Amino acid sequence: MKSNEIQVLDPTQRREKGDKGIVINEWEKLTAPSNRRLSMQSLHFLPFSLDWSIDRITLVGNLKEFEFDHTYINEDGEFYRAGEKFTLNQAMPLLAREEAAERAGNGWRLVDKYGENIAYVETLPFKDPTTGKEKGRIDFNPNKIETFLKTDLKSFISMMFDNPHFSRADVACDILDLPNEYVSQYRLVDAVSFRPYYGQNGALETAYWGARSSERQVRMYNKKLEQEKKKQVLPEEVKTWWRLELQLRRSKADEWTEVVNETLDSFYSLHYLPNEMKVTDKVMLAGLHAEHQLISELAVRTRQKYRKLMKQLAKEDELTQHLKASFSENIDTLKRELETWLGAMKVNDEEE
């Protein structure tokens, strides 16, 4: 979902089947002149881009039985008659013979003709307690699926699931062309765990807020660095690239618009401290920013005071306000993206 004139570039070289030495660039839309500027604080008139997307979808539901439309003998000599029913676990090896699936852990990866991952599917180890039917899940990133494959994947999901549930959605925003040292200073006010990871040079590479098993986990990371480590091909114009990602599960997946807005209300930095703020408060905020865990050692009223000040900084932070504005501009597009996958297949956006 483009928010700031993020332009689609000419495709890089595609890998033909078997050409493992050529790297596919799956991000072909990253750079263009932007109409967004940081015109306050320390970055005057610096252009940058924001790009919102649904980055991951997980569906869980009862598995249907498949039917062969013709008589078939597999490589093990098993005989299937036309109209005979079979399970997902029986179907996936057949797709693997057609080079459309690969075994992965307890499940299977669906792959395209270039061998690139489309989705992950598996049969869950427990059955539906009401119907006794086998349950399964499918997990995929809609951003990485070519348009011509989306119809095929939707058909597969419709054939695979009976009454699936929308159990996870990741909402992401790519922040392009702002200095690393600027973006890396952002934190969340929320009273959740904070786990930063730094590189050998001492620079922040990834930060997590919240537990992995929680209904909401926020991750901010240096996407450009991640892609370079994976030897992905990036446009030369992309100088920096950070991603803010909200992983929403269960009820939070259903309330994604509210959760994103609430999270952005807590996204703050110390780039702009009001002149009228007391020096002692500035020192305390700087200390808590550097040593986040110390806030839990403060008295309740003191904790509340500084969290309130942090929230106020978020309201006045220029990048945060750009993020909120661009999200509002893209809500309808993001909703349509979800409806494309969920509504068309009559998927229930309810957790089990």
Going by C-alpha positions, the residue among 270, 264, 269 that lies closest to residue 325 is 264
Q: What is the pLDDT of residue 203?
A: 96
* pTM recorded for the entire structure: 0.79
Burial of residue 40 (number of CB atoms within 10 Å: 0-12, 13-18, 19+): middle
Phi, psi torsion values for 151, nearest 5 degrees:
-60, -40
Long-range contacts of 112-120 (CB under 8 A, 24+ apart): 112/146, 112/149, 113/17, 114/14, 114/15, 114/16, 114/17, 114/24, 115/15, 115/17, 116/24, 116/26, 116/144, 117/144, 118/144, 118/145, 118/149, 118/153, 119/145, 119/153
- Residue 320: how many other CB atoms lie within 10 Å: 20
- Give the integer Cα–Cα distance in Å for 285 and 291: 10
- Give the integer Cα–Cα distance in Å for 133 and 260: 35
Q: What is the pLDDT of residue 302?
A: 98
- Give the integer Cα–Cα distance in Å for 46 and 100: 45
Q: What is the pLDDT of residue 164?
A: 80
Going by C-alpha positions, the residue among 143, 338, 141, 156 that lies closest to residue 255 is 338
- Give the integer Cα–Cα distance in Å for 8 and 50: 14
Which residues in the chain show pLDDT less than 70? 1-45, 68-80, 82, 146-148, 342-352
- Give the integer Cα–Cα distance in Å for 327 and 141: 19
Q: What is the pLDDT of residue 68?
A: 63
What does 101-168 look like in DSSP terms, one character per residue? EEEETTEEEEE-TTS-EEEEEEEEEEE-TTT--EEEEEEE-GGGS-HHHHHHHHHHHHHHEEEEEEEE
How does pLDDT run across 90-143, given as a tens digit for each residue?
A: 778 877 877 888 999 999 998 887 777 889 999 999 988 888 889 999 999 888
Q: What is the pLDDT of residue 104?
A: 92
